[in-house]
Amino acid sequence: NAGVTQTPKFQVLKTGQSMTLQCAQDMNHEYMSWYRQDPGMGLRLIHYSVGAGITDQGEVPNGYNVSRSTTEDFPLRLLSAAPSQTSVYFCASSYLGFTEAFFGQGTRLTVV
């Protein structure tokens, strides 16, 4: 079982560049979410989705876009990267909201 596949693992961007972090799950989970993790701040929710076609903002949504065209995929888009977006990003999925969550391996993003 692949579980949650998150790519890339590492990325360096220049300020102003755009990119998409990919997240895919093969468990038919309805609930998917994106988090960023910064030193001393713990995990913070960026965006989440409760099913295909439905997304909502989390705690820190500014500068990020998401879409959920299929149950399997939940990409996170950085429209114009800023140094403040340097962080480690995690995608997660679960069957229902806050049941057992499965996390991707994380993406370490550096914006210079």
Partner 1 sequence: KNEVEQSPQNLTAQEGEFITINCSYSVGISALHWLQQHPGGGIVSLFMLSSGKKKHGRLIATINIQEKHSSLHITASHPRDSAVYICAGGKTSYDKVIFGPGTSLSVIP
- Residues in the site for partner 1, rule: CB under 8 A? 31, 33, 35, 40-45, 48, 50, 58-59, 88, 90, 92, 96-103, 105-106, 108
In angstroms, rounded to a whole number, what is the distance separating the alpha carbons of residues 44 and 6? 17
CB of 11 to partner 1, least distance (A): 14
Nearer to partner 1, 16 or 53 (CB): 53
* Closest separation in Å from C-beta 16 to partner 1: 27
Q: Which is nearer to partner 1, 52 or 103 (CB)?
A: 103
Ramachandran region of residue 43, left (φ > 0), alpha (ψ -120 to 50) or beta? beta
Burial 37-66 (b: 16+ CB within 10 A, else e): eeeeeeeebbbbbeebeebeebebbeebeb
Shortest spacing between CB 63 and partner 1, in angstroms: 18
